[in-house]
Amino acid sequence: MKSIEIKEVTKLYGKQKALDNVTFDIGKGEIVGLLGPNGAGKSTLMKIITSFITPNTGTVLINGVDVLEDELSTRAVIGYLPENNPLYPEMYISEYLAFVLKMYKTSFNPKSRVDEMIDLTGLTPERHKKIGALSKGYRQRVGLAQALIHDPEILILDEPTSGLDPNQLVDIRKIITELGKEKTVILSTHIMQEVEAVCDRVVIFHKGKLVADDHTSNLWKVAGTGNYYEVEFKEEVKAALLSALPFVTNVSLQEKGSWLLEAKKGEDIREAVFNFATEKKLHILSLSQSEQSMEEVFRSLTRK
Ligand code: ADP
Ligand code: MG
């Protein structure tokens, strides 16, 4: 059963294409990560799904209903945490949540529903504070609580963990994973590990285009071409010698003087590098495995 259908959506800001003919579906109960660097079009797509902005061409269906034809009924089934969550700093947490709840037609008892959301999102220790007095992590929890208050079946979370410290990040991811057991969730992020930790499926965007759509377990295979090692020798070394090492697929000399070696996925070349150094009487100043940067990942994806 399809929860969200995105069909040939294009969005222009002036001459700039923020989204370029994007098509994909999301099934009921899926947790999907929209992954992409800044400016990829993630927030724009979320605003279109929630009908806050309209696309130039294309349609979005929620449970089979066009969001532009029936905004109210589609918004009622969606909970949305916007990018710069516009909270009211002068309001108390429970006051704000009660205010949000009032905008929806529900049969919830306001007080008990607000308490339930405060408990669910871990806001209890801070509940008597005004929103403006909360740390970023707690404000993000308020954002989640307001997105959940009307018990929507679909959650759309725009960079829900951005700006959080590592502990808060773990907490929020846990809450999202828990929610994902019952709801359809779309979250956006520029962090691959976040997709890996939380999502079943990853849809990758670059410059407004959908460039990959796969199960999360294939994320590194989809994104990466190999694994990387950074090695610095005391002496000058010829690139051709390094290229000849087993499983090395690419070598480049970096500005700082160290070599970046790309190796075949799954092969650890460190021992071979040590043996090579010994054999050639070279001195290794440093050797480390390095993560492929997000930018490199996107560049390799868009080259295809
Ligand atoms: P992401 O959320 O992936 O960082 P956005 O959807 O925010 O990407 O932005 C996609 C592109 O559209 C960016 O190049 C951005 O500068 C541009 N953009 C977004 N919103 C506007 C706007 N209101 N007016 C003009 N350009 C915009
Ligand atoms: Mg964004």
Which of the listed residues 12, 44, 186 should we mutate to test ligand 1's pocket, taking the one with most ligand atoms within 8 A of CB? 44
**Ligand 1 atom closest to residue 44's alpha carbon, by position in its atom list:** 6
For ligand 1, atom 26, which residue shows the shortest CA distance? 13
pLDDT at 92: 96
pLDDT at 299: 66
Distance of CA 41 from the midpoint of ligand 1 (Å): 6
68 with 54: CB under 8 angstroms?
Answer: yes
Which ligand lies nearest the alpha carbon of 9? 1
Low-confidence ranges of the chain (pLDDT < 50): 304
Distance of CA 36 from the midpoint of ligand 2 (Å): 9
Which ligand lies nearest the alpha carbon of 45? 1
From residue 277, give the alpha-carbon distance in Å to each of 37, 237, 242, 252, 271.
Answer: 38, 10, 10, 17, 10
Protein residues with CB under 6 Å of any ligand 1 atom: 13, 16, 18, 36, 38-44
The Cα 73–Cα 76 span in angstroms is 5
pLDDT at 302: 62
pLDDT at 226: 65
From residue 9, give the alpha-carbon distance in Å to each of 16, 25, 200, 294.
Answer: 14, 12, 23, 25
The Cα 208–Cα 205 span in angstroms is 6
pLDDT at 300: 66
> For the sheet containing 248-253, what is the strand order?
248-253, 259-263, 227-233, 284-290
Is the pTM above the cut of 0.75?
yes
Q: What token pair was written down for 126? A: 């801070």
pLDDT at 265: 76
Which ligand lies nearest the alpha carbon of 53? 1
